Amino acid sequence: MSTAAQAATGRTVTTNIPARLDRLPWSRWHWTIVIGLGTVWILDGLEVTVVGNIASRLSEPGSGLPITSGEVTGIAAALYVAGACVGALFWGRLTDRWGRKKLFMITLAVYLAATALTAFSFDTWWFLLFRFLTGFGIGGEYAAINSAIDELIPAEYRGRVDLMINGSFWLGAVGGSLLSIVALNTDVFAANVGWRLTFALGAVLALVILLVRRHVPESPRWLLIHGRDGEAERIVSAIERQVEAEKGEPLPPAEGEITIHQRRSVSFVEIGRTVFSEYRRRAILGFSLFIGQAFLYNAITFGFGAILTTFFDVPSGDTGYYFAVIALGNFCGPLLLGKLFDTVGRRVMISSTYLLSGLFLFGTAWLFDQGALSASTLTACWCAVLFFASAGASSAYLTVSEVFPMETRAMSIAFFYALGTAAGGISGPLLFADLTSTGKVGDTVLAFQIGATLMCAAGLVAAFLAVHAERRSLEDIAKPLTAAATKARTKVTAAGTPGSRDSQGPRGPQGPKTATA
């Protein structure tokens, strides 16, 4: 570490704060974190689904907006994706520099404002501009939220909580499907009003979440590294008092401590060298997981409406019901399988969910090619595929947020999110739109097979490269760049009781010890 980096704060700190956070039992305070930070994915699912479902209404005369359906599903969708990619990279860098809380408040405020202004669209350029800015805010949310969640949730529960929160996107998709059915009913709302109300509702929900987030603290881990150890100590002590009051008994002592040189920032060069050189195998893993899930999802969801209407004569107005069923299957995967990622383990569960979803999609392709499916049975097959795929896709976000050092966490999430979003939102539509719109069975089968192949390939990569991160401290999985030395930390049980590791360090004091560097 350079002298200039150390001179940013001029102190070395020895602390057991990470161990104290990881040994906490589950409590009401943790539910506050889940609600305050996790519910934003519901908004993302709502946004994406609503826009796809209202495309036909926006293009109709009397909608109040001179725009075509192609502009909504093509240009507007591309701008939303571009905004998410740019936002992830822009806000991700600031999340590592300015802190998790500041950024998850700012990015949600950007989303709220952009969504509200979309409801007031009066011309095509206005609608397109604020679709980009909506994506810009959402992209930043992924980096800020996943960083904060992993750093605040105890190691014992990190996997299942992260999967459940990322999977909640699909609750928003269910809501978006059902909401669009009501909003587009001209017997209920005028043609130029219903679609505006859907965006207004998204803004109202964002405002509620913003108010809840005021009570979510900054990550003590981030504060420690950036020279604010006194504030970190106050936050953790307050959490401990709250948990002890709820449980009615003292918490067990935290085992293990870490010594760090405090610094205010890490350069892009150091981030790049760390992620792509020192952790090259983990970077390959992250790349594989994100690309695999992006193409599998596009193979199914991008053309699902066209497939149902073309091959099974499902009325276009009824496809929202089928999508709601698919979305529910997506949410159930992370919800029901999440605990296994903490108990059975990351490598087994990540590789198996990817491989099973890919194999099930191969089977669906074969049945579809044989003409053995109806609209209902095809939807059932999709549900089975996406039940496993959703857990796998959510584990991709979990993986890149926990296998890289603390100082690079938000930027790593942002990079892989932008990569996967670009692949899914740009390459995917260009490939699968042509295949699923021809009306030829063979072309749709090929789309399924491409998605299944890439998902299975990612599963094989995970079988060899996935990190055994279950129930381990983040500092054990990837040592912070600022770490000077570590004493072995101990694994903690769900109740907070210290467990065994290869070696156990001495019991640390309740708070950081500082020294001038």
346 and 392 Cβ atoms separated by less than 8 Å: no
- State the pTM of this model: 0.83
Question: Is residue 448 within 8 Å of residue 365, measured between CB atoms?
Answer: yes
Looking at mean pLDDT, say which of 94-103, 234-243, 415-424, 486-495 comes out highest: 234-243
Q: What is the signed CA dihedral for 73, 192, 174, 431, rounded to 10 degrees?
A: -10
Cα(95)–Cα(412) distance, integer angstroms: 11
Nearest residue to 427 via CA among 283, 294, 293 = 294
Element (DSSP H or E) covering residue 483: strand 483-486
Q: Could you report the per-residue pLDDT of 313-330, keeping only the tens digit for each?
A: 888 667 778 888 888 899
User: pLDDT tens digit string along 369-389?
Assistant: 999 999 999 999 999 999 999
Q: Which residues contact 83 (CB under 8 A, 6 or more apart)?
A: 131, 132, 133, 134, 135, 136, 137, 138, 139
Contacts of residue 484, defined as CB under 8 A and 6 or more positions apart, other chains included, come to 12, 259, 260, 261
pLDDT in tens, 257-286: 889 887 767 777 888 888 888 999 999 999
Q: Which of 405, 412, 387, 114 is nearest to 290 (CA)?
A: 412
